[in-house]
Amino acid sequence: MSTKKLPFISSVGLVQIDGRNVVPTAIYYDSERRAHIGHEARELCHSPEHLLEDFKIELGQHDPDAVTKRTTQSFHAPRSTVAGIVQDFFREFLAKVNQGLEQQGRPLPKSILIAEPLALSGSNMAEESWLSNYRRAIRRVLHGRFEQIDFLPEPFAVFQYYRYGLRHPAIAEQRKHIALVLDFGGGTFDISVIETAKSGDVSQSGTNSRPLSAKSIQIGGFFINRLIAAQLLMTAVNKDIRADVRKSLELADRTKAPDALAQLAEKQQTFYRHYKRLLSAVESAKLSVCNSIANWSLEANLSGLAPFPLSVPTNPYDPSSSMASLKLDAGMLRQTFENEVWRNKLRDAIKKTIDRAAKDLKGQEISVVLLSGGSSNIRWLAKLLDRDLGKSDLPHAEILQLSENFQEIVAKGLATECARRFYTEGQGDFRAVTYNRLCLALRSDGGELEVKPAKPVTSILAAGGQAQFDDGVLLPSARSLRGLVDKPLLWKVRLGHPPRQLLEYFFMRSSFDPDDLEARHNIVDTRASTPKNARFQSAIEVELTVRADGTATPRFIYGRNDRSGGVTAEGRPFHIDMTFASDEVGGSTYLGFDFGTSASACSIVDSNDVQMIQERARSAEWRELSELLSELPYPAAAPLARFISEIDSHRRPQKGREAAEALLTLAAYVAYMDACSCKATTGAVFKGYTQRSAGPLWALIKGCLGGKAANLNFSAPLQGLLKPENVEQIDQCIEGLNSDKHGRQQNVDWVSFLGLLANHVARIFAGKHLGVFEGVVAKRFRSGSYAGIFRVLHGASQTFVDVLAYEGPVSFSDELVYLVDPAGGRALLLSPLYFWGLQRNPLDTLAIDMFEFDTDKRGLFSFKSTQISQGLTITPDGEYGEIHEHVSVMRASDQDGHLIEGLTLTSHNP
């Protein structure tokens, strides 16, 4: 199903950090103890063991109010605790955000909405209080920076993006949905079941969606890396030290902060350094292997596919250990993912979450599955969902996957929620709401476990019709606690016999089995001793006081009536599954911050954004322009997206010019190379082309299309631009662009002009793709036959996950750009007018960009990059002398184009 986008989140841009929408959640301290974050940290840190990452989950494992003792520091880690590291990361991150906003003349945010994992379920104290610790630590780090600090669970942000931001037709249409949301990130796998109302529009009516069940487990990209690294180590080391290595692996995985590292013995520190280097190499290998997979079928033969070499220490306790040369390939990765990740961890967690929602679903089936998170790019997840749960739990569910960067979805979802809060005066859709049923089972004096009806005493609970709920249910899922924070909530429970000595209590999430520790809230303390002077009525009262962070304090009151206040048995506070409940204040400027385990991103929304959203939502032309982003190739889609997201009226004309020139460039270069391949040029078309600007590009298009459209293989759809009415509009718009260059008032209807160009350019790519061949190698035992993949470079942002499997008689370079027709088995070479990845940064795969021919300045050829940069100048005697020679020949006379036929291009994408 094609993805349709309305101009909502496409109109609210992500804040760029060092020129990127997404940055690694990593920090490095240089020799002067200065903190560097993100891509800068990775570039400056030459020893992986000095790069601090994977510290987010650790933040909730410790009470932020507890006094910590500082330990030995080193030059690369002056901070000894995770809280200090997070504080430095936030400080540097927000400083870069504010710097970018000030340069744009945008107001600094007063409110911040932070994405958080759901409550981590487990069997120890740290997990029981994890979310409370995490929220308090974050609020302490951000104290004084914002007027309002709020939190939103990551899968709820994902849901908001699909339904209200992206407005995918399968979830945004005006009917009820039951959505299963899976957010698979670097550190956690978050699962939630959300029921939608029929209304899909922002309105003053308040909440339109209800979370019925949710769960988080500590499984993500880092966990997969650790599995692979452990397998490699066990293969490389001698048998006599494997037991020690297993223990060292457990110890290293628990070592997140510098103070923990400083306490290790020298032998274990040596192991840690080897292990960190191996983990860094495994991450690169995993990404490389995933990027090379064209067929994600569970039955595909992946043995030996895309092997990535890795050096693994044979003795990780020796600083100068010899290295074994091992490989990670697609077959090994699939086996590890299916057996160790899916079967052992993810499958049961998903099934339990669906089962928890069953009572509230009342027979309704899940209709759609929404995927998010960087690890969702491992596309076996969708295949395994369908194979193992499709018939039993998801028989009629449509699994939605996007051909865009999964790492941006949470940040875009936060922007969606922030924008909606302008309409609801800060209320939002998921504030102060439970996302699992809160159940209670009791046992008196060691007797039988009792699950009894809980009759609400608090009037507002009774008003919600709670008497209709199942026995033992105190709060249903999706129960709003707005206005009830810090106020005692009371229920009456009639037991078989009173607890004269001891009351055992088990607060559970959608369960009544105390032995199910994953479902238990109060793990550490489950007993309340009965006061000696207690007298009993026919029922006891259960009281809960819930704080804004979800911490609930239980009390059990015996013998209270009109004449007596009764006596109280105090319980230990625990954390219930509810979203944050800060004061509902309508903000003027929101920052949505996705503080991820492996990568972070943020979005900004202010009143100007909301006004623009309102205006564009009413415009069919804006909606159509936004829809085209996913259909256009990257060199045209990215500049168009920058125009759509620009809210400043003074900067919008420049962004419009850049988008128009990008679309004209793509049309002109495809038309020219197509004409050359058909030998349909006059011989000197490119010689007369002066520079990459609107006028010369339009002249090049007309020169290539005039009267020859019937002979062209790819660019015939552009012939519509030559209709008299379109020629008149384009001529007028280009004249308006030139007026601006000469200081005269510009009068261009940007939306209409860009819509005209984008629609015609998109028609070229109906069933065709622009992209690059990768990993093409000769097939064994088949002379003259090659195989690899073709990566489709469509959409406004990297990463590009759609690939085609290639087989054919040609070996391709991975820097040459082609326009392919899979149905016809043809490929049109677009280089040297386009090149992919001429400048590569091995530490940052997203630094690869598209370059397109720009100008000829006295024999020096400049190439412009799709992202904003200095570009590239190519000289006759420089690194790219061969490219210079090729362009020089074209400047002298048109050359025959390269149309390659006889190719097999197959899509296996789910």
How confident is the model over 825-853, as a mean pLDDT?
A: 83
Q: Do 204 and 167 fall into the same domain? A: yes
Does residue 705 share a domain with residue 557?
Answer: no
Mean pLDDT of all residues in the chain?
A: 85
CB-count exposure of residue 728 (10 Å: 0-12, 13-18, 19+): exposed
Instruction: Indicate whether 362 and 378 sit together in one domain.
Output: yes
Q: Are residues 492 and 522 in the same domain?
A: yes
Mean pLDDT, range 532-560, rounded to an integer: 89
pLDDT category at 679 given cuts 50, 70, 90 is confident
- CA atoms lying within 13 Å on the CB side of residue 160: 27
pLDDT at position 871: 84
In the numeric block, the tokens 């932070």 are attached to: 114
Mean pLDDT of 586-604: 85
Residue 754 maps to a domain: yes
Q: How big is the chain, counted in residues? A: 910
Q: Indicate if the pLDDT at residue 744 is higher than 80.
A: no
Residues 389-448 have pLDDT tens digits of 999 999 989 888 766 667 788 888 888 888 777 666 555 667 778 888 899 999 999 999
Are residues 467 and 419 located together in one domain of the fold? no
Tens digits of per-residue pLDDT, 218-239? 899 999 999 999 999 999 999 9
**Is the residue at 139 inside a domain?**
yes
Helices 242-254 and 266-291 sit at what angle, rounded to 10 degrees?
80
pLDDT at residue 622 greater than cutoff 80: no
Q: How confident is the model at residue 12 (pLDDT cuts 50, 70, 90)?
A: low
For residue 625, being part of any structural domain is answered with yes
pLDDT surpassing 50 at residue 72 = no
Share above pLDDT 70 across residues of the chain, in percent, rounded to a whole number: 86
CA-nearest of 330, 369, 397 to 908 is 330
Give the pLDDT confidence of 864-888 residue by residue, as tens digits.
999 888 888 999 988 899 999 999 9
Question: How would DSSP label each residue in 198-234?
Answer: S--S--TT---EEEEEEEEES-SHHHHHHHHHHHHHH
Q: How far apart are CA 603 and CA 744, in angstroms?
A: 35
- What CA dihedral angle connects 875, 878, 883 and 885, to 10 degrees? 70
Q: Are 519 and 121 in contact (CB under 8 A)?
A: yes
- pLDDT greater than 60 at residue 122: no
Determine the pLDDT at residue 738.
Answer: 74
Residues 636-670 have pLDDT tens digits of: 999 998 888 777 777 888 999 999 999 999 999 99
Whether the predicted pLDDT of 166 surpasses 80 = no
pLDDT at 749 over 60: yes
Contacts of 16 (CB under 8 A, 6+ apart): 100
pLDDT score recorded for residue 257? 67
- The Cα 637–Cα 286 span in angstroms is 28
Please check whether residue 182 is in contact with residue 381, taking contact to mean a CB–CB distance below 8 angstroms: yes
pLDDT category at 722 given cuts 50, 70, 90 is: very high
Which residue, 396, 400, 392, is CA-closest to 354? 392
pLDDT recorded at residue 170: 65
In a domain, 256, yes or no: no
From 91, 305, 255, 247, select the one nearest 774 (Cα to Cα): 305
Distance of alpha carbon 413 from alpha carbon 419, whole angstroms = 10
List the domain range (segments joined by +) for residue 565.
438-575
The band of 130, judged by pLDDT with boundaries at 50, 70 and 90, is confident
**Is the domain of 711 the same as that of 653?**
yes
Angle between helix axes 130-141 and 82-104 (nearest 10 degrees) is 50
> CA dist 815 to 161, 775, 835, Å?
34, 11, 6
Residue 276 domain flag: no
Residue 6 pLDDT > 60: no
Does any domain span residue 273? Answer: no
51 lies in the same domain as 72: yes
The whole-number average pLDDT for the span 8-12 is 51
Could you tell me if 61 and 188 lie in one domain? yes
pLDDT band at 79 (very low <50, low <70, confident <90, very high): low
With cut-offs at 50, 70 and 90, classify the pLDDT of residue 71.
Answer: very low
Indicate the pLDDT class of residue 203, thresholds 50, 70 and 90. very low
pLDDT exceeds cutoff 80 at 632: yes
Q: Is residue 612 part of a domain?
A: no
DSSP code of 683? S
Query: Is 887 in the same domain as 811?
Result: yes
**Same domain assignment for residues 554 and 591:** no
pLDDT score for 3: 39
Query: Where does the pLDDT of residue 746 fall: very low under 50, low under 70, confident under 90, or very high at 90 and above?
Result: low
255 part of a folded domain = no
**d(Cα 659, Cα 875) in Å, to the nearest integer?**
28
Tally of domains in the chain: 3
Give the separation between CA 440 and CA 789, rounded to whole angstroms: 55
Same domain, 527 and 626: no
794: phi then psi, degrees, rounded to nearest 5 = -115, 155
Indicate whether 175 and 27 sit together in one domain.
yes
pLDDT of res. 119 = 72
The answer, yes or no, to whether residue 583 has pLDDT greater than 80, is: no
pLDDT band at 5 (very low <50, low <70, confident <90, very high): very low
Q: Give the pLDDT of residue 206.
A: 43
